[in-house]
Amino acid sequence: MPFARFETVPEAEILGQAILAVTQSINYEMYRHLFEAGLKAYGFDTTIDPEKWYPLQMLLNIYKSFYDKPNASSNLVAVGMKVIEASPFPPEVDSVQKAVETLNYIYTVYVRNYEPGTEYEIKVISPDEIQIVDHTHFPHDLIYGYMFAIAKRFAPKGKHIIVTREYLNPENPDADGAIYYFKTK
């Protein structure tokens, strides 16, 4: 079911621990003013409590504020990478396949009260190729950062993983999700 990036139901919430990754990205100082303005617009101070739930729409609006600014794509990719770097994967997750298979679980840990169907569809095409269809409301570049960080963190020794993206709606990418492919070389 198509949906728009950056828009969710009012009751959807995200755990503060996930928001903290925004402040820990290597590019944080480039967009700090946007992040803090977004928090203040929702009546929050600039200190994030990792155990508190925040409106998901607030974070989506903050991400949306990045879009027309310099380095928007690299900033969102950097945040996405930090989210994965900071995510504690169980010890048994030791491969790209196992990591992507946990994406929906991780989503339910950090996001609650979201609409059904706004998750990931994962399909193992072959031992060297995995397809992930992203139906979340998060920006494509953020999700690309997730996927790139998974490939980097869980690539088999001596192998290289190429991550590519194909928009479900190429005419208007933000009107729907995207398909990400992991190909091991």
CB 147 within 8 A of CB 106: no
- Quick check: pTM over 0.85? yes
- Give just the sign of the alpha carbon dihedral 178, 41, 12, 109: positive
Distance, in Å, from the CA atom of 39 to the CA atom of 34, rounded to the nearest integer, reads 9
Q: How many CB atoms lie within 10 A of CB 70?
A: 9
pLDDT digit string (tens) for 85-136?
988 889 999 999 999 999 999 899 999 999 888 899 999 999 899 999 999 9
Q: How many CB atoms lie within 10 A of CB 14?
A: 22
Specify the amino acid at residue 83.
V
pLDDT averaged over 10-residue windows placed end to end, the chain, 185 residues: 75 95 90 94 94 97 89 92 89 95 92 91 95 94 96 94 96 91 95
The predicted structure's pLDDT at residue 3: 55
Q: Is 9 left (phi over 0), alpha (psi -120 to 50) or beta?
A: beta
Phi, psi of 94 (to 5 degrees): -130, 20
Q: Are strands 111-112 and 13-15 parallel, antiparallel or unpaired?
A: antiparallel
Tell me the residue range of the domain where 93 lies: 1-185
Tally the domains of the chain: 1
Instruction: Tell me the three-class secondary structure of the chain, residue by residue.
Output: CCCCCCCCCCCCEEEHHHHHHHHHCCCHHHHHHHHHHHHHHCCCCCCCCCCCEEEHHHHHHHHHHHCCCCCHHHHHHHHHHHHHHHCCCCCCCCCHHHHHHCHHHHHHHHEECCCCCCCEEEEEEECCEEEEEECCCCCHHHHHHHHHHHHHHHCCCCCCEEEEEEECCCCCHHHCCEEEEEEEC
**CATH number, domain with residue 164:** 3.90.1520.10
